[in-house]
Amino acid sequence: MRLLSTLALGAFVLPVAAQASDPHSYAQPQDVVISHIDLKLAVDFPHKQLGGTATLTLDWKNPDAHDLVLDTENLAIASIEAVDTKGHAHALHYALAEPVKAMGRKLTIDAPEHPREIRIAYKTSPDASGLQWLAAAQTADKHLPFLFSQSEATHARSWIPLQDSPAIRFTYTAHVTAPNDVRVVMSAPNVPKHPLDGSFDFEQTHPIPSYLMAIAAGDLAVRETGPRSAVYAEPSVLAKAAHEFEDTEQMIATTEKLYGPYRWGRYDILVLPPSFPYGGMENPNMTFATPTVLVGDKSLVSLVAHELAHSWSGNLVTNASWRDTWLNEGFTTYVQGRITEALYGQSQATEETLLAVRNLEKTIGKMPENAQRLAPQPRTVDADDELSDVAYDKGSWFLRTLEAKFGRKDFDAWLEGYFNHFQWHSITTEQMLAYLKPSLIDKYPGRMSWEEVQAWVYGTGIPKDAPIPDSPRFDAIDRERNEFLAGTLAAGKLDAKGWNTQEWMYFLDRLPDTPPLAKMQELDAAWHLTGTPNAEIGMRWYVHAIAAGDKAAWPAAAEHATRIGRLYLTMPIYKAFVATPEGFAYAEQVYAKAKDGYHPLTRMAVEKLFARTRAAQASAAADKG
C-alpha cells in the first residue's frame, strides 16, 4: 500500500455508454484537442484563490463537431469568449453540468464555428482539490503564505479549465502575479536568479499532459546544486535540502548515459512543506518533493532518482489513461533502481527492491483480482483509485524479469529505443506491447514466450519464476528478528547500530501484524524509536506499537500524523488507531486538531477512513442487536 490505496474505498463504475477512451475525463479528443494554453493568473493569498484567464488554442479534428467539452471542478467561471486572429473576442454560450463525484463539472461550450482560440475568465475555489493554501503561520519560517498544486491524477481541472486526460498534450505559457517577496515557480524552466518583483513568466515548449501542470508560490530561496539543477525551499530548509540532493547532476548524467539525453533543459527540486500529500511529483523541470526525505544521510534520495526517471518514463512517454499507469510508475521504478545501483551501489538498490518485493508478495493475494493486473480490465471512475503497489512494484518486477531474460546490454538498448520511439506521445499498454513483441521478444527467440509476457501484464498474482535478488544483509536481519521474537536475542543485542534506513524499514515491516506488547516496549527502550526524526522508520514503528497496544507511543504517533500530511506516511497510523474503539476516538481528536494543516486529499482520505470505520461499527452493532 503506497499511495492512495488508502483512498480506494469505493469504486464507482461508469455506465458503459459514458466510457470514452478515458473514463476519467469528459474530453472528446476525437472532436478537438487543446494544443496550447496561455494562462494569466494572479495569486490571491487572502482569498485563497487563483484568478485570471486561460486561453486555449484548439486543434479541431472533426468538421461536424459542435462543442468544446472541458473538465472543471469547483471553478467559478466569469465568461467564455472566442478570440479571432485579430484579437477580437465574442461571447460564447456554455453549460456547466452538475458536479459528479471524482469527475467534477462537465463544461460544454457551443463552438460550431471552430474558433482557434477560446478564452475563459475564472477563479478557483479556496478548497480546490488540486491546491493547498497555507497561512504564513503554517510554514517553516512563518514569514509568507504558501501555495502549491498537485494535479495528478485528475486535479488539474480544479485550477485550470482543460481537457484533463493524459492522452492529450499541449505546450503552455503563463504570466503569474503575486505579492512582492513571493517566488512563483511552475512546471517549466525556472530562473534561479529571478527577481522577487511580483511578476513571473513561464514557457513550457514541450507538449505535456494536463496532470503535469504545476505551480507553487511562497517564501522560496534557491541554491544551485549543479550546472542545470537547483534546490528551492524555504530559507531555513535550504541548506539541508541542498546537502541531501547534492548528487542531482550525477543522477541526471547517469540516466542520460543509460537512456539518452535529458530533453528538458533544467532539472530543479522544490522542497514543499510536510503537508505535501505525496513523496514526490515529477512536474517537468521541477520535481515537487516532501521534506520527509531530508534525513541527513541521503538514504531516501532514490525519491529524486524516481522523479527524475519520470523525465523519460512518464513525461516523455506518457500513459494514455490511468488504467495504463504502470507504464509511468512501473517503468520509472525500474529506472529508479538502475540509477540507485549506479550511484549508491548494488546493495542499496537490492535492499530497496526487496522491500517492495516482500511487501507486494504479502499483499497482492488479498487484492481483488482485477487490481492484481498491471493493465486492469473494467475501469473505475476515481483515477486516484487506480494507483497501487501493483503498478509500481509488479511493473518494475516485470521489467527486471525482461532484463534478466534478455541480458542487461540488449535490454538497456531496447529501453532507450522505446523512449526514443514513443517520445512526446501518450500510449496505451497495448501500444507498448505491440512495440515490445517485434523489437525484443521475437528478435531474440527462446528467451521469453509471448504467453509469459501476457501473464505478467494481464494475469493476477506474481508469475512463479519472477527473479528475487539476494541480500545477505537482509537475510541477517531476518535471523535477528526471528531470534528477538523467539526470546533468544535481547533487543539491546540486535546488531542495529549500523543499520541504514532501509534495514530498519525491513526489520519493522516484517514484525508480526500484532506484536507482543512486551517485545515492543523492549525494542523502544533499547533503540528509542518513539520520536525518531526518520518518518519512514517512525511510521512503521508507530503502526506496530499501536497494534501491540503500546499507549505510551500514542502522543508521538499523533505528533507524526499531525506534522506530516504525506498519505503514505500518515494514513497507516490512522488505520492502526481506528482498529479499536478507543484508538478511533483518539484518532478523531488528532484529526480535529490536524485538519487545518492538511491538504484536501489528506482530509478526504482520513474522512473516508473514518466514515468506513463508523459504518463497520454500526453494522457490527446491528449484528449484535
Burial (CB < 10 A; 0-12, 13-18, 19+), residue 438, is: exposed
Of the candidates 267, 278, 334, 392, the residue annotated as catalytic is: 392
Q: Does 385 help bind ligand BES (rule: CB under 6 A)?
A: no
Please, what's the b/e burial string for 304-336 (b: 16 or more CB within 10 A of its CB; e: otherwise)? bbbbbbbbbbbbbbbbbbbbbbbbbbbbbbbbb
Residue 153 site contact among ligand BES, Zn ion, none (CB < 5 to 8 Å, cut-off depends on kind): ligand BES
Alpha-carbon distances, residue 544 vs 113, 548, 581 (angstroms) = 63, 6, 17
Question: Which of 29, 274, 279, 565 contacts ligand BES by CB under 6 A?
Answer: 279
Query: How many binding residues for ligand BES (CB under 6 A)?
Result: 15
The residue type of 353 is T
Q: Which residues in 141-189 belong to E strands, given as ranges?
A: 146-149, 169-177, 183-186
Rg (CA), the chain: 24
Binder of ligand BES out of 106, 123, 306, 560 (CB under 6 A): 306
Q: Which amino acid is at 159?
A: W
Using the rule CB under 6 A, which residue among 31, 71, 247, 307 binds ligand BES? 307
Using left for φ > 0, alpha for ψ between -120 and 50, and beta otherwise, residue 171 falls in: beta
Query: Minimal distance in Å, beta carbon 502 to ligand BES?
Result: 13
587 near ligand BES (CB under 6 A): no
- By beta-carbon proximity to Zn ion, the closer residue of 332 and 532 is 332
503 near ligand BES (CB under 6 A):
no
**Among 156-164, 227-235, 275-283, 361-369, the segment contacting ligand BES (CB under 6 A):** 275-283
Burial status of residue 290 (CB atoms within 10 A of its CB: 0-12, 13-18, 19 or more): buried
Q: Is 83 helix (H, G, I), strand (E, B) or coil?
A: strand
Asked if 286 touches ligand BES (CB under 6 A), the answer is: no
Which residue number is nearest to ligand BES in terms of Cβ? 279
- The answer to whether residue 387 forms part of the interface with ligand BES (CB under 6 A) is yes
CB 428 within 8 A of CB 321: yes
- Partner from Zn ion, ligand BES, none contacting 102, C-beta within 5 to 8 A by type: none
387 binds, among ligand BES, Zn ion, none (CB under 5 to 8 A by kind): ligand BES
Nearer Cβ to ligand BES, position 68 or 153?
153
Q: Does 146 bind ligand BES (CB under 6 A)?
A: no
Grid cell at residue 501:
534506513
Min dist CB 392 to ligand BES, Å, is 6
Q: Which does 3 bind (CB under 5 to 8 A by kind): Zn ion, ligand BES, none?
A: ligand BES
Task: Spell out the residues 6+ positions from residue 80 whose beta carbon is closer than 8 angstroms to its own.
Answer: 91, 92, 94, 109, 118, 119, 120, 121
How many Å apart are CA 456 and CA 449, to the nearest integer? Answer: 11
C-alpha–C-alpha distance, residues 40 and 202, integer Å: 11
Contact present, 530 and 524 (Cβ < 8 Å): yes
Q: How far apart are CA 512 and CA 530, in angstroms?
A: 18
Q: Is 41 helix (H, G, I), strand (E, B) or coil?
A: strand
Q: Does 386 contact ligand BES by CB under 6 A?
A: no
Question: In angstroms, what is the minimal distance from the CB of 56 to ligand BES?
Answer: 24
Among the listed residues 527, 571, 519, the one whose alpha carbon sits nearest the alpha carbon of residue 549: 519
Per the annotation, the verdict on 26 as an active-site residue is no
Is 381 a binding residue for ligand BES by CB under 6 A? The answer is no
Dihedral of the alpha carbons of 460, 152, 536, 571, in degrees to the nearest 10: -80
Task: Looking at residues 75 to 104 of the shown chain, list those that interact with ligand BES (rule: CB under 6 A).
Answer: none
Closest CA to 275 of 571, 559, 564: 564
Restricting to residues 552-571, which ones interact with ligand BES according to CB under 6 A?
568
| 338 Cβ contact partners less than 8 Å away, ≥ 6 residues apart | 258, 349
Residue 607 Cβ vs ligand BES, minimum distance, rounded to whole Å: 18
- Residue from 26, 278, 504, 574 that binds ligand BES (CB under 6 A)? 278
Q: Does residue number 282 form part of the binding site for ligand BES (CB under 6 A)?
A: yes
Stretch that binds ligand BES, among 25-33, 60-68, 119-127, 279-287 (CB under 6 A): 279-287
Work out whether 157 is an interface residue with ligand BES (CB under 6 A). Answer: no
Among residues 370, 301, 282, which one has the least CA distance to residue 339? 301
- Of 15-23, 226-234, 300-308, 436-444, the window that binds ligand BES (rule: CB under 6 A) is 300-308
Give min distance, CB of 188 to ligand BES, in A.
Answer: 18
CA–CA gap between residue 166 and residue 314 (Å, rounded): 10
Q: Does 337 bind ligand BES (CB under 6 A)?
A: no
Binding mask 273-312 for Zn ion (x = CB under 5 A): ----------------------------------------
Q: Nearer to ligand BES by C-beta: 519 or 566?
A: 566
152 binds ligand BES (CB under 6 A): yes
Q: Which one of 307, 352, 403, 536 is the catalytic residue? A: 307
From Zn ion, ligand BES, none, interface partner of 568 (C-beta below 5 to 8 A by class):
ligand BES
Q: Does residue 153 interact with ligand BES by CB under 6 A? A: yes
Q: Is 399 in the site for ligand BES (CB under 6 A)?
A: no
Asked about 307 being catalytic, the answer comes back as: yes
d(CA 97, CA 105): 5
Min CB(395)–Zn ion separation in Å: 10
Q: How far is the CB of 337 from ligand BES (least distance, A)?
A: 11
- Give the shortest CB-313-to-ligand BES separation in angstroms: 10
Q: Which is nearer to Zn ion, 165 or 332 (CB)?
A: 332
| CA–CA distances in Å: residue 197 to residues 182, 184, 193, 204 | 8, 10, 12, 21
Q: How far is the CB of 107 from Zn ion (least distance, A)?
A: 29
Binding mask 324-343 for Zn ion (x = CB under 5 A): -----x--x-----------
**Residue 94 or 331 having the CB closest to Zn ion:** 331
User: By C-alpha distance, which of 540, 553, 559 is closest to 499?
Assistant: 540
Distance (Å, whole) CA 246 – CA 343: 12
Interacting span for Zn ion (CB under 5 A) from 182-190, 219-227, 321-329, 454-462: 321-329
| Beta carbons of 241 and 231 less than 8 angstroms apart | yes
Stretch that binds ligand BES, among 104-112, 277-285, 427-435, 608-616 (CB under 6 A): 277-285
**Least Å distance between CB 539 and ligand BES?**
12
Q: Could you give phi then psi for residue 398, rounded to 5 degrees?
A: -60, -45
Asked whether the bond before 434 is cis by omega within 30 degrees of 0, the reply is no
Give the interface with ligand BES as residue ranges (CB under 6 A).
Answer: 3, 152-153, 278-282, 303, 306-307, 310, 329, 387, 568
Give the interface with Zn ion as residue ranges (CB under 5 A).
Answer: 329, 332
Q: Which residues are catalytic?
A: 307, 392
